[in-house]
Amino acid sequence: MLVKKMVDYAGGLGIETDIDATPFGNLGERINRTDILLIGPQVRHLYKKFSVEYAGKIPVIQVMNMSNYALVKAKEIFEEAYTEFKEKTKN
């Protein structure tokens, strides 16, 4: 439900996205075309591992805010991640 709401929100802003929810063990090649990696609050312990492993490859790695995640606040989650992405990738 969160993924669909995020896709719909981004689409409403005219932002093309490819948002997916997948277990970390199944990332495979998808990781090579990832700009933002959002980590669920229930697995926040993986943040440091992914920050080290994908440093320089993925511009934004974030743990989603627990409250926003629990309440499925797609707009807030998307805006926080996308704002950081724009800041880190602006030229």
What is the tally of structural domains in the chain?
Answer: 1
Structural domain span for residue 14: 2-89
Q: How confident is the model at residue 26 (pLDDT cuts 50, 70, 90)?
A: confident
pTM of the predicted model as reported, rounded to 2 decimal places: 0.90
Distance of alpha carbon 49 from alpha carbon 20, whole angstroms: 20
Q: Determine what percent of the chain is predicted with pLDDT higher than 90.
A: 82
* Separation between Cα atoms, residue 41 and residue 86, nearest integer Å: 23
Band (pLDDT 50/70/90 cuts) for residue 30 is: confident
CATH code for the domain of 63: 3.40.50.2300
Residues 6+ apart with CB under 8 A from 87: none
